[in-house]
Amino acid sequence: MTDMTAKPQVQPTSEQPTHLSLEEFCGNIRRMESQGMDGISLFNKVISKGMAPDLIAEDEVQHSRWLERITTEITRRFRQEDMRVVLVAGPSCSGKTTTSRFLNHMLRDNGIQPCVVSLDNYFLNLDQRPLDPNGNIDYESFYGLDVKQLGRDVASLLAGDQVSMPTYDYVKGERTYRGNTLKLESNSLLFLEGLHALNPLLVPDIPAEKTFKLFVTAQATVYYGEKNGLDEHDNRLLRRIYRDYNSRGASALQTLQWWPGVLRGENLWILPFACHADAWFNTSMVFEFSAIKSRVSMLLKDVPESEPVEYKIAQRLGRILDRIAPLTQEDFAAIAPKRKFLLSNDGK
């Protein structure tokens, strides 16, 4: 497996942030994080000195470099090894959809036409879904997918046939067909993107050498460490609170109540297959907590004390955000639209 999550490292420095290049700053932040140190103070100094736009631009550059490496390898295997399918998986709010979009743009520049199929559109109707141990619908289970229909459609696509593609209606809780079709051409590369894309039972008839497996994660870079009280999954949880409110009108309390089931599903159905990936990509952005701080802090304050479990988590997350300097409206406007999409509306 190729590790593409590693970031360039530099030696610690005693210089003030304004004397550092932004690349050195990002390297220092990530080095401090790897040593369990607190990078928030350095980050806040940079924000206070009006350097947020430069920091945002540097983070974009670092992300692009790693995506270019992944794109180069996908292109090589497509042309030299007849690789036909890219599988993009990752846990909730890791950035799967946005990462696929970035790769699609880069691959088109290489003369390859990506064709994306979201696994979400192959969910079974709600009345056909498996149940969790509490007797509720298990939204995270691999067996909530219509794997047989997906297998038939993928086989037809790879054979060059035109296929009617489904759309999942979340309001009705059922799969529908709205006249959408897909057909692969000689320069087409099929992308299968979703929570369960790396599960070997998804498309077992496709030889492993004909696939490229990408695992997308979101591991916090600036704010991680024991002193900060940030748990392993909090980066994605904060994203999801922000996303659920913006795109689904859900309260922070609702998201916090759903979260244990999400983590349970990840441990059962997603993380066990991450080790089989050909590459990993970390979508975490140095500035993202600052970008969502104002809105998420307000949402967390609405979690009532009458819900003690969720209230305790909300208070802990709120204390973390309190320590972080927020982006100004002008700074937020400098974030590329595709990055804003990652923060606000990225898949499941």
Q: Average pLDDT of 42-50?
A: 81
**Cα 127–chain centre separation:** 28
d(CA 233, CA 219): 8
Judge whether 186 lies within some domain: yes
DSSP reduced 3-state for 300: helix
**Cα 173–chain centre separation:** 24
Judge whether 33 lies within some domain: yes
- For residue 244, the domain's CATH number is 3.40.50.300
Judge whether 7 lies within some domain: no
Judge whether 30 lies within some domain: yes
Judge whether 178 lies within some domain: yes
Q: What is the pLDDT of residues 120-137, one digit of tens each?
A: 999 999 999 999 888 989
DSSP reduced 3-state for 319: helix
DSSP reduced 3-state for 282: strand
Beta strand 163-169 with 174-182 is antiparallel
Query: Comparing C-alpha atoms, which of 212, 241, 287 is closest to residue 55?
Result: 287
At 61, list the tokens: 């550059």
Q: What is the pLDDT of residues 138-197, one digit of tens each?
A: 999 999 999 999 999 999 999 999 999 999 998 889 999 999 999 999 999 999 999 999
CA distances from 243 to 8, 39, 346 (A): 30, 25, 8
Q: What is the pLDDT of residues 190-232, one digit of tens each?
A: 999 999 999 999 999 999 999 999 999 987 665 444 555 667 7
* Domain housing 210: 17-344
Judge whether 306 lies within some domain: yes
Q: pLDDT at position 8, please?
A: 31
pTM, two decimals, is 0.84
d(CA 45, CA 300): 26
Query: Comparing C-alpha atoms, which of 206, 216, 340 is closest to residue 266?
Result: 216
Helix (H) or strand (E) holding 174: strand 174-182
At 255, list the tokens: 């998201």
Judge whether 106 lies within some domain: yes
Judge whether 309 lies within some domain: yes
- List the beta bridge partners of residue 89: 215
